[in-house]
Amino acid sequence: MKMNLLLKICSAGCAITLMAGCSAKPKSDQPAVPAAVPAVTYFKVDPATTGSITGTIRFTGKKPMPKVIDMSEDPACVEAHHGKAFDESLVVAKNGSLSNAFIYVKQGLEGKTFEVPKTPVTIDQSGCWFRPRVLGIQTNQTLQVVNSDPVTHNIHPMAEVNREWNHSQGPGDAPLNRRFVKPEIMIKVKCNIHSWMHAFIGVVENPYYAVSKDDGTFEISNLPAGTYTVAVWQENLGTQEQQVTVTAHNSTASNFTFKGK
């Protein structure tokens, strides 16, 4: 009787040992090695093979009458403009030159990856305006937001391809740093506190863009020789495109004319 009991206990113990041995995970002698991240190869521009694109953006037709912006809801904004401020969505000089147009290389750089500039692009809230009104930035480059005014502002980029965000910034607050990871032409920016404040950001994957100056001129330099599609955008007048061939050590003209609506 006792012998049978001992045999049963022994059998049960062996079974438990076998089960434990089967369920145990085998130990690995080597730790798991994380997958290697492939190194990014940036396109290196050879200055010996580059040229530039220069041009002027012009407006023809009846010039719009300057529109006064009502800033009376915020006395500090009125004071910043000495009582009168004008809409800047279409700024045309006496000779017809058009400022604040965004010009960029739309096609012709496919397959090339450009290093992200370490210097941030700055947008300032000054005089209850965004300065500059139109700006360009490379994907993943830092956008630095500054408030130089004695009042609180709110910057709200209404991106559709990138992530939309908005952030209030009071007088003396530290700069905000943000990035856009995808190309997008153009991102409209507004202030949720002051309805007249607007800006536009062109996000591109390369450094070849420009904004027309007060005299309507622009320059895109250090561009590798080749044939490109150059596009220009203006917030009220839409977009235009041209095909341009750039040769080494030369400046190629690319002028655009918008007709008034």
* pLDDT one-digit tens code per residue, 138-177: 999 999 999 999 999 999 999 999 999 999 999 999 999 9
Cα separation, 57 vs 96, whole angstroms: 9
Domain range for residue 62? 41-104+210-261
Cβ(104)–Cβ(183) below 8 Å: no
pLDDT for 56-111, tens place per residue? 999 999 888 889 999 998 999 999 888 788 999 999 999 999 999 999 999 999 99
pLDDT, the chain, mean: 89
Confirm whether 125 is domain-assigned.
Answer: yes
Cβ(56)–Cβ(92) below 8 Å: no
Mean pLDDT computed over 8-28: 46
Torsion (CA) 166, 118, 127, 199 in degrees, nearest 10: -50
CATH for 250: 2.60.40.1120
Domain shared by 123 and 48, yes or no: no
Alpha helices in the chain (DSSP H): 2-23, 75-80
Cα separation, 57 vs 60, whole angstroms: 10
Confidence tier at 36 by pLDDT (50, 70, 90)? low
Domain shared by 61 and 82, yes or no: yes
CATH for 182: 2.60.40.420
Domain shared by 82 and 138, yes or no: no
Residue 259 has pLDDT above 80, yes or no: yes
Q: What is the pLDDT of residue 84?
A: 84
Confirm whether 34 is domain-assigned.
Answer: no
Cα separation, 117 vs 114, whole angstroms: 9
Q: What is the pLDDT of residue 121?
A: 98
Confirm whether 80 is domain-assigned.
Answer: yes
Q: What is the pLDDT of residue 37?
A: 60
Confirm whether 28 is domain-assigned.
Answer: no
pTM for this structure?
0.84
Cα separation, 147 vs 172, whole angstroms: 7
What's the domain count of the chain?
2
Cβ(190)–Cβ(197) below 8 Å: yes
Among 166, 190, 205, the domain-final residue is 205
Confirm whether 3 is domain-assigned.
Answer: no
